[in-house]
Structure 1
Amino acid sequence: MLTETVHIAVPTAFLYDESLYVEGTVNHIRNLSKQGVKSVLVSGTTGEQHSLSLIEKLELIDGIEKEAELIQNMEIIFGVSSVRQKDAEELAEKISTTNFSGIMIGYPPYIKPSQQEAIVYTERLLQLSNKPAILYNNPGRTGFDLAEESIIYLSQYAEIVGVKDAGSVEKVARIKDAIHRNDFYFYAGGEVELVEKVAGGYNRLSSIAGNVLPKEISQWFNKLVEQQEITGRESEQIHSILEEVYRGNAIVNVKKMISEQGFPIGGCRSPIGNSLF
Structure 2
Amino acid sequence: MLQETVHIAVPTGFFKDESLNIQGTIEHIRYLYNQGVKSVLVCGSTGEQHSLTLKEKMEILSHLVWEEELINRMEVIFGISSIRQLEAEELAKRICNTKVAGLLLGYPPYILPTQAEAMVYTKRIINLSQKPIILYNNPKRTGFDLSLESVVQLSKINSVVGIKEAGNKERVGLLKKHIKRNNFHFYAGGEVELEEKVLQGFNRLSSIAGNIFPIECKEWFSKMLTNQEITEQEQKKMKTIIEQVYQGSPLVNVKETINKRGISLGICRSPLGNV
* TM-score, normalised relative to structure 2: 0.99
Is 1:33 aligned to residue 33 of structure 2? yes
Say which SS state the counterpart of residue 210 (structure 2) adopts: helix
Is 1:59 aligned to residue 93 of structure 2? no
Say which SS state the counterpart of residue 166 (structure 2) adopts: coil
Seq. identity, %: 58
1:171 is displaced (CA, Å) by 1.2
Matches within 5 A, 1:177-256: 177-256=177-256
1:213 is displaced (CA, Å) by 0.4
Match of 2:50 in 1: 50
Q: Distance in 2 between matches of 1:222 and 1:144?
A: 31
Match of 2:72 in 1: 72
Q: Distance in 2 between matches of 1:180 and 1:138?
A: 23
1:177 is displaced (CA, Å) by 0.4
Q: Distance in 1 between matches of 2:229 and 2:76?
A: 31
Q: Distance in 2 between matches of 1:273 and 1:168?
A: 28
Match of 1:23 in 2: 23
Is 1:153 aligned to residue 153 of structure 2? yes
Match of 1:120 in 2: 120
Aligned length: 275
Say which SS state the counterpart of residue 40 (structure 2) adopts: strand
Say which SS state the counterpart of residue 103 (structure 2) adopts: strand
1:261 is displaced (CA, Å) by 1.4
Say which SS state the counterpart of residue 164 (structure 1) adopts: strand
Say which SS state the counterpart of residue 123 (structure 1) adopts: helix
* Deviation digits for residues 15-65 of structure 1 (CA, Å, limit 9, x no counterpart): 110000110000000000000000000011111000000000000000111
Which amino acid is the alignment partner of residue 254 of structure 1? V
- Whether the 8 Å contact between 2:80 and 2:106 is mirrored in structure 1 is yes
1:169 is displaced (CA, Å) by 3.5
Runs of 4+ in structure 1 deviating by more than 2 angstroms, as ranges, are 167-170
Match of 1:93 in 2: 93
Q: Distance in 1 between matches of 2:169 and 2:235?
A: 23
Q: Distance in 1 between matches of 2:265 and 2:168?
A: 34
Which amino acid is the alignment partner of residue 248 of structure 1? G
Unpaired segments of 5 or more residues in structure 1? Answer: none
1:260 is displaced (CA, Å) by 1.1
* TM-score, normalised relative to structure 1: 0.98
Q: Distance in 1 between matches of 2:15 and 2:168?
A: 38
- Whether the 8 Å contact between 2:12 and 2:25 is mirrored in structure 1 is yes
Which amino acid is the alignment partner of residue 197 of structure 2? K
Unpaired segments of 5 or more residues in structure 2? Answer: none
Say which SS state the counterpart of residue 269 (structure 2) adopts: coil
1:214 is displaced (CA, Å) by 0.3
- Whether the 8 Å contact between 2:139 and 2:167 is mirrored in structure 1 is no
1:211 is displaced (CA, Å) by 0.1
1:237 is displaced (CA, Å) by 1.2
* Deviation digits for residues 127-174 of structure 1 (CA, Å, limit 9, x no counterpart): 000100100011111100111111000000110110000033431111
Match of 1:140 in 2: 140
1:235 is displaced (CA, Å) by 1.1
Match of 1:104 in 2: 104
Q: Distance in 1 between matches of 2:150 and 2:190?
A: 23
